[in-house]
Structures are given as structure tokens and as C-alpha cells.
Structure 1
Amino acid sequence: MTQAAFELRETRRTAASAIEPDPRAQAADIPPNVLVHLTEFALRQGIASEPWFAGLGITRQQINDPSLRVSYRQARMIISRALQAMRLPALGLLIGRNETIGSFGLLGLAMMTSRNFGEAMSAGIENHKICGSLLDVDFVAMDAHHVGVQAWPRYGDIELLPFLCEELFASCLAISRELVGPSITPVRMEFTYPAPAYATEYTQTFQCEVRFGAQHNRIVVDADWLVQPLPGYNPLVSRQALALCHQQLRGNSPSNEIVVSVERLLRNRLRDHPRLTEVARTLHLSERSLRRRLAESGRIFREIHDRVRAERALELLHAGQMSVAQIGIELGFSDPREFRRAFKRWTGMPPQVARRSLP
């Protein structure tokens, strides 16, 4: 390897790990659904998946245990090894579009028995973590006529973002068609990363306009679909299934829940540069109570705010559609120089260097 190639590799490695690793990435709290889909697909292709689990403290056989939980770090490593082993560029699309409502287990039952498509969508988004989602997901009202499911990378990890978005949104569409019929088609798809070499696979999968280098990762649908009644509606079964879903979600401690709530609120209002007092008021807490509950989780507000801003900055730099000054405004900075100084404090490098170094 030449010195120039070595320096480029090291710079990219630095950029990819610019934010200090989040300790939550090592908490074993994620159901292994995505890993099961990957290994089953590999089995059908005649590819041995056992080596993907080497050195991670879990085995291929164990992921079929419904009580097993893996950490984000373990799941990320297994997916990275699977991508290297199978060398299928559109692997996420292939996995996602073959998933069914049954792949969602209890959550699938809750969605099937919902009153209408809107309630099914709300149930899916509210409980997505019990299905092993490796992205954070939320509902967004675009305007009076369009709604969307929006996703962003967890812990600022953008290396696997294409695969994770492909799997998530292809499965969303497949399940939506199972719920309301094959005629439902997105208005458009948006992805923050550049168009891959296999971009035509996206058009074939989603059958709509696909935008790369966008500000968000999301699937946009016509709001009229929300009131579409579902043929399997059963209020009793729906309530029972949702209660069991909520019971699984309560495995997270209250302190972790408050951190997630603060992160979500900050992420949705970065441009407004919300202060601790405003966040506490929105969460119906006193400033003192919010500080205390964050401290119980070993976190402080400024650290959370900086991490969310750094993750969003890296995502927008990777998308490549906005100038550094525009990204600063998106993150609540009125002065580009102030944003550059903050970004260097967060990551150890200027934003221009990070943009050139990102994969």
C-alpha cells in the first residue's frame, strides 16, 4: 500500500469514528430479527453464515432463540461480514422486499388487526424496536396531503446506512401492500446518501420517484391511505397484541427512555437550538427533574445535544447537497465559523475534511 493510500484509509477511518463510541451500542437489547433474515437468505444461497459470528459471543443457532438480545455492535459486525461474504450490492432490498407481516411477530398481529392503515402505521412506528430495528424511526406529516416514515442512523453510524434503509423501507412497502393491497405506491423515496451503482434496483422496488442526496431518509405516501380500513380489524386482539408489545418495550429502564425522548426532541428541533429549559417544559418536567433523570443515566444535556448535532452534521455532509454554512444553519448556528469550531471540537477535524473523508 502506498503512503498516500494509507493516509486516505486512516483519514476515512478517523471520519467514520469521529464521534466517540456510544456505550449504549454495547448494550444487548436488540432482537436479532434482521440477523435471522440475513442468515436465512444466506442459507438459500448456499452460503455458510457461521463465520459471521466468530468472536462475538453468540452463535448462528442462538439467534433463533426468541429470548436472545444482541448489541448494536454485535449486529453491526455480523451485517458487515454478511455484506462482504455475499457481495450482493442490493442485499438490503432483496431482504426487505421478501419480508411479510409474519416477520414482525406480535407487532405484525397488532398491525393486521388495527382499525385502519393509519393505526397500523402508528403501531409499527411506536413499537419498531421490538422487531430489531437498527435505525431510529418516526412518523412525519409532510403537508396536508402527504405523510412519511422517517429514519436516521443510530449513534451516528452511516457506514451501513444504505443496507439498513433498503431493508427497512423495502419491508415497509411489502407489509403495507400486504395490509391494504398491491395498489399502494409511495409518492417518492428520499435517501441522504449518494445514488449507488445499482440505483435502478430502487426504482424497480419502490416504483416511484427516488431522490438521493436528500436531507432525510424517508418513504412518503399519500395521506388518504391513513383512513383505509383493514379487513382483519379486531379491537380485542389488537389491544391484546399492543399490550404485549408495550410490555416488551418496557424492558428499557425509565432513565434510558428519558434520554431517547430528549434525543428525539432535539433531533426534530435542531434549527431552533432548544435550551434545557425549553426541552424540560416540552417534556412536562421541571429543569431540575430533567437534569436529575439524565444524571441517573450518566448523561448531561450538553453532551446529548452535541452528539445529536454531530451525528446530523455527518449525515448531511455525507449527503453532499448542502454547503457547510447551510448545514450550520440546519443545526442552529447563525455563524458558519461558530459551526466549524464546534464541529472540530466534536470530531477532531474541520467539516470540509470530514466531507472528503466520508465513504
Structure 2
Amino acid sequence: MSQAAGMQVSRLTPSSVAEPDPRALAADIPPNVLVHLTELAARRGLSSDAWFAGLGLTRQQINDPSVRVSYRQARTLIGRGLKVLRDPALGLVVGSNETIGSFGLLGLAMMTSRNFGEAMSVGIENHKVCGSLLDVDFAVLDAQTVAVQAWPRFGEIELLPFLCEELFSSSLAIARELVGPKLVPVRMELTYPAPAYANEYARIFRCEVLFGAQYNRILVDTGWLAHPLPGYNPLTSRQALALCQQQLRGNASHDEIVGSVERLLRSQLREHPRLTEVARTLHLSERSLRRRLADSGRIFREIHDRVRAERALELLHAGQLSVAEIGNELGFSDPREFRRAFKRWTGMPPQSARRSMS
């Protein structure tokens, strides 16, 4: 995102963000931040199950690497978590506890980069793989200084401190893991007023922190960019980066109701759930569910078939079950019916698909 675009977002008025933005309903965000937040609650002996009420999502489901949530769902969960945990510096706590492993494939791509500058570029270009709730970009400020900048989505103001704290503290924790604890930012700038716990920023970032600034960004000396990384492996880095980009392409936006239906179908494929049963579980009438799916340009049968086809291909690739057993896993009592359905979905019989994967 350009600086001009970011400034346009920051000038939105409260009345302009009161109307829900359709993009905030797109279930295309990996729930990494939500996982860290709920795990922190668990370590403190608190249940987070109630945070998920009315969202078409459960605590268990966010541990599924294929699950994607909408910005609205993530925002609601974080807001509820803040109220329950009662920790004003919660974003700093969550972010500081993250490691390179918390970034999954992206962490591997960064760790095996040639140098710190390359790792920074990889991380920024692919930040959405890790479920970032802010838009992030890179800026060269002058010959001595570069910056990682963050921009709020949809005019978000209320959660901006938490989101910036989590993003910047986790980024710094990972940077220090890559090049060592001596890395100290040149300065940190934040657009919101100084909170009561501002001294925590100074303790974690160990640099000057300016509140009420024009941008949300962390500044780093360019001398660090050429710092070589001990884990450099060009082949591994390319492979991990290709998988990250594949994930980004797979995160095509779709309405959160579609995501809720998909999750429910995946968990109940053997029971062959009907539209009426899915609607009841989601606390909707059958008519309302049909209408909401239609608003997203989808129909229930198409979603059901795609979920079954994906699961069938996964099981065929695993190679542990027979075709009949796979059909049974997908709710087909007759193997012949499953074979016909699979050919309709993919254009080939199950055995041919299995051979093509071997």
C-alpha cells in the first residue's frame, strides 16, 4: 500500500466507518493472532469458548490450518479477549511471546533468506500469510534509515493500539531471533496517544517511542540489511516462499457465511448434512441461509460438492483408505454412487486420480 493510500484510510471519519465494509466480511485471514490470544488465556487459566458465541466459529476450529476468518470475526474475538484478560498491554504481551516458528512457512522462508534485508522483504510481501490485521509496507526514508509501516484497515481506531503492539513486538522478536539481541530500532512512531503503560514500549523496543505521530512505523538502520543469516539455504527459501505465495492465492475472499458453512460441512461429511440441518446449527432459517449464500454468489450444493471433492483428493493422496472407504468417509453408502460423484466433480474416476498423484 502506498503512503498516500494509507493517509486516505487514516482520514476516514467515525461516521464513515459505522457502515460495515463488505470486505470486512471476507473470510480470508489466517487466525494466527486469535490462536496466540486464546492460548494466552488458557495459560492464565481462563476459558475463551464464550468469545466465539454467534460467530459461526469455535475455539477448536481456529487450530485448523485451512480455516480462514473474516476481519469482523477477528475484531470481535480480540475485543472480547481484551475485556476478559483485562491487560492493557495485551498486544505487547502476545507479540513478544511469538517466535520465528509462530510464522510457520513464512518464518522458514525468512530464516533461510540470504540476509536480514531479504528476510524483511519476504516477511513484508507475504505478511497476510500470518493473518496480519494491518496492511504492512516497506519504506526507504533516507540513506541510513528504512521503516516497516502499518496501516489500519477499514478505518479501525479502537483496536489500533493492540494491533500495532502485536505486529511490531512480534516483528522485533523475530528480527532479534534472526540477527541477535543487539538489534535496536532507530525509533518507533505511533499515531495514537501514549497509553498509561508507555514505559512497556521503552522496555521492549529499547528505543525512542513517539506517540501522536503521522505514521505507525518502526525505523531500522540500513546497516542491518546486509547482515548475513546463518540459516541461509536458497533451495529451502524458494520452496517455502512458493508455498507462502500459493497460500496467498488460495485465500481468495469469500463471505464469512461461506466459511462457516464450509467448516461445518468438513466436520460432518460422514453424516451428509442437508441444508436444513446446517442452517439450524448456524441458528438461521433455511431461507435465510439460502439468501445469504446467494448474496455471496454461492449455492449450498456447490459448496458441499467442493468440500467433498477436496477431502476425497486429500484421502486419495494419503493412500491409506480404499475408494469404498473414502466414499463412506464422505457420506456415500454406495461406492458406485461415490465414483459417479467424484467423476462429476473432477472429470476422472477415483483410481485414475490416485494414480496421477503417485
TM range (shorter): 0.5 to 0.7
Question: Which whole-Å CA distance do the structure 2 matches of 1:252 and 1:93 have between them?
Answer: 28
8 A contact 2:111–2:231 mirrored in 1: yes
Question: Which whole-Å CA distance do the structure 2 matches of 1:190 and 1:145 have between them?
Answer: 17
8 A contact 1:191–1:215 mirrored in 2: yes
Matched residue SS, 2:209: strand
Count residues with an aligned counterpart: 244
8 A contact 1:19–1:156 mirrored in 2: no
CA deviation profile, 1:78-133 (whole Å, cap 9, x unmatched): 00000000110000000101100000000000000000000000000000001000
Is 1:192 aligned to residue 191 of structure 2? yes
**CA 1:253/1:132 → structure 2, altered by over 3 Å: closer, same or farther?**
closer
TM-score, with structure 2 as normaliser: 0.66
Aligned to 1:173: 172
Aligned to 1:142: 141
Question: Which whole-Å CA distance do the structure 1 matches of 2:33 and 2:15 have between them?
Answer: 23
* Gap regions ≥5 residues in structure 1: 1-13, 255-359
Aligned to 2:230: 231
Q: CA deviation at 1:15?
A: 2.5
Q: CA deviation at 1:17?
A: 5.5
Q: CA deviation at 1:253?
A: 5.2
The amino acid of 1:167's aligned partner reads: E
Question: Which whole-Å CA distance do the structure 2 matches of 1:252 and 1:202 have between them?
Answer: 33
The amino acid of 1:206's aligned partner reads: F
Question: Which whole-Å CA distance do the structure 2 matches of 1:224 and 1:18 have between them?
Answer: 40
Q: CA deviation at 1:155?
A: 1.0
8 A contact 2:29–2:70 mirrored in 1: yes
Counterparts of 1:129-278 in structure 2, within 5 Å, are 129-252=128-251
Bigger Rg over Cα: 2
Question: Which whole-Å CA distance do the structure 1 matches of 2:161 and 2:236 have between them?
Answer: 35
**CA 1:156/1:204 → structure 2, altered by over 3 Å: closer, same or farther?**
same
CA deviation profile, 1:271-308 (whole Å, cap 9, x unmatched): xxxxxxxxxxxxxxxxxxxxxxxxxxxxxxxxxxxxxx
Question: Which whole-Å CA distance do the structure 1 matches of 2:242 and 2:22 have between them?
Answer: 30
Aligned to 1:120: 119
TM-score, with structure 1 as normaliser: 0.66
Aligned to 1:82: 81
**CA 1:253/1:78 → structure 2, altered by over 3 Å: closer, same or farther?**
closer
Question: Which whole-Å CA distance do the structure 1 matches of 2:160 and 2:218 have between them?
Answer: 15
Matched residue SS, 1:155: coil
Question: Which whole-Å CA distance do the structure 1 matches of 2:248 and 2:61 have between them?
Answer: 21
8 A contact 2:112–2:236 mirrored in 1: yes
Question: Which whole-Å CA distance do the structure 2 matches of 1:43 and 1:17 have between them?
Answer: 37
Matched residue SS, 2:27: coil
Question: Which whole-Å CA distance do the structure 1 matches of 2:252 and 2:39 have between them?
Answer: 32
* Gap regions ≥5 residues in structure 2: 1-12, 254-358
CA deviation profile, 1:14-41 (whole Å, cap 9, x unmatched): 9366453210100110000000000000
Q: CA deviation at 1:187?
A: 0.5
CA deviation profile, 1:237-287 (whole Å, cap 9, x unmatched): 000000001111112559xxxxxxxxxxxxxxxxxxxxxxxxxxxxxxxxx
